[in-house]
Structure 1
Amino acid sequence: MATYAIGDLQGCYAEFEALLKRLDFSPSRDQLWLAGDLVNRGPDSLGCLRRSVALDGAASMVLGNHDLHLLAVARGHGKLKRKDTLSDILEAPDRHEMLEWLRRQPLLVDDAERGCVMTHAGLPPQWSLAQANELAAEAEAVLRSDDVDAFLNVMYGNRPARFEPDLAGMDRIRAIVNVFTRMRFIAADGTLDFAAKEGLDSAPEGYAPWFTYPRADGLTLLFGHWAALEGQTPGARVDAQALDTGCVWGGSLTALDLDSGERISVPSRSADR
């Protein structure tokens, strides 16, 4: 049995299938961890989502910002953007079943035995694992409840930029979700910057990559979201494993073997499209 963590699919279904074939992946034997952003920008978001649903039981995933955008658009709380590739899902006869499955996925998964934690964007140094699990569960409960529309209606936004324990209502849920799904550069007090999305040299003054702040718990932190890192975390002061190697942008789709530490990649087929 092997367990593989795979970076952002973003609609790159052909590459996903090629990677599973290269891994000789068997859902009856092996496990997948999917780092979120299954959909959007790539050519086959529907294929990626359907395949992930079919792997349920053999795959654990975390929600990413593009997954949440899909949910918001599907429920009438957001609009398709020019570069979105979500129409095939929205027009699919099985959209309801897939979207209900998606909104019940977690924001955080962990493996205590391995000491591994996966979220889409990372784990801020201000949060212990216990606190992160509690906050993830709080936001997940809203997404899975009748309050989901109330949240998705106000999900888009950069305020508050820092999570505070006394935050309440949908501001609190938005702050939690933004940390788990949109974080890149942060200040020492945990304030998030939402503008800089490129490499490490694009850090705003007073901000640094979240993984350059130390932690004392020795966790291995698996994350996607930041394609510009190209799978590297220079200057990391924690064991942070960047999984998004930019398949949708012409890079590659990468799996990390959680037992051996080996990385296995297949090239993007964007040049063939």
Structure 2
Amino acid sequence: MSIFVVGDIQACYSGLKKLLLKVGFNPKQHKLWAVGDLIGRGPQALETIEFLMSLGDSFNTVLGNHDLHFLAVSQGIREVKGKDGFAELLQSSKKNLIIQWLREKPLAAVPEEGFFLSHAGLYPLWSEREALKLAQETSQFLKSDKWRRLLEYMYGNEEQRWTDNLSGLERHKFVIDAFTRMRFVDQKAGLNLQLKTTPKDAPPGIFPWFQHPDLRHESQLLFGHWAALEGNNPNERIHALDTGYIWGGKMTAINLKDLKTVSVKARTL
């Protein structure tokens, strides 16, 4: 059984369908994972979610920052903006079902033995085992009746540093930021959430999470979130799958059997 992992979809249902046709995806024979950001900015949020939900056990995803933002908007914690592309979802009779479906999704996962998947990457000071444990802790909180408190708390770009002593909402916020918003860190692995440039344009002392000297991993790492990388993998064991379809680039999927990628280009006017 082939397992495909698709990069950021961002409510581009037409692009997703083209990509799945190109890779020959068959839900009866294959499994599809996504790196998160199923929705956000794109024009076909409801179609995208309804299609992915219809795949049942043949599909799973980790959560991205846009998915979490939708949850916050759906609860009135954040105001909806036109650029979010959430209007159809919020007006849908299936809204509550979609909210519950998203809340059940993990922040990190092992789609196949030897692979680690999250939206933004692997925080350099965590082992894979520790990262999965922390992801599960925060996912459980998102499933609890206190979940709205976390959605209220998770916003903000202040620099954060991990310590094992972090607790409560502060701990959960760091976990969410590390898994869904991280790009750059400093020498002590503090998160820099404001910088969104390419690695070569980063200021001194700030570098991509995957270049931090403390990063250790045995598995192949799969992540999205960072369209500015344009799918240029940091190395042969770290795979950048956000190729910027929403920005006129490509949508990309990787086959975990042979690590080959397939892409489709966005239509340009």
TM-score of the aligned structures, taking structure 1 as reference length: 0.94
1:160 and 1:171 in contact (8 A); partners too: no
Task: Determine helix, strand or coil for the equivalent of 2:66.
Answer: helix
**What is the letter of the counterpart of residue 150 of structure 1?**
R
1:35 and 1:120 in contact (8 A); partners too: yes
Off by >3 Å, runs of 4+ in structure 1: 214-217
**In 1, distance between residues paired with 2:208 and 2:244?**
18
Aligned partner of 1:13 in structure 2 is 13
- 1:261 Cα deviation from its structure 2 partner: 1.3
Aligned partner of 1:213 in structure 2 is 212
Cα deviations by residue, 1:102-130 (Å, 9 ceiling, x for unpaired): 111000111463x1000000002210011
**What is the letter of the counterpart of residue 126 of structure 1?**
L
Structure 1 unaligned residues grouped into runs of 5+ = none
Alignment length, in residue pairs? 268
**In 2, distance between residues paired with 1:230 and 1:255?**
13
**What is the letter of the counterpart of residue 22 of structure 2?**
R
Task: Determine helix, strand or coil for the equivalent of 2:110.
Answer: strand
Task: Determine helix, strand or coil for the equivalent of 1:266.
Answer: strand
Cα deviations by residue, 1:207-265 (Å, 9 ceiling, x for unpaired): 1111113544322100000001010134x4x7210000000000011001111111101
1:223 and 1:242 in contact (8 A); partners too: yes
1:159 and 1:175 in contact (8 A); partners too: no
**In 1, distance between residues paired with 2:182 and 2:33?**
20
Aligned partner of 1:34 in structure 2 is 34
Aligned partner of 1:143 in structure 2 is 142
2:127 and 2:216 in contact (8 A); partners too: no
- 1:5 Cα deviation from its structure 2 partner: 0.8
**In 1, distance between residues paired with 2:216 and 2:103?**
32
Aligned partner of 1:247 in structure 2 is 245
Aligned partner of 1:52 in structure 2 is 52
Task: Determine helix, strand or coil for the equivalent of 1:83.
Answer: helix
- 1:71 Cα deviation from its structure 2 partner: 0.1
Task: Determine helix, strand or coil for the equivalent of 1:57.
Answer: helix
1:191-210 aligned within 5 A: 191-210=190-209
**In 2, distance between residues paired with 1:160 and 1:96?**
34
1:56-75 aligned within 5 A: 56-75=56-75
2:124 and 2:216 in contact (8 A); partners too: no
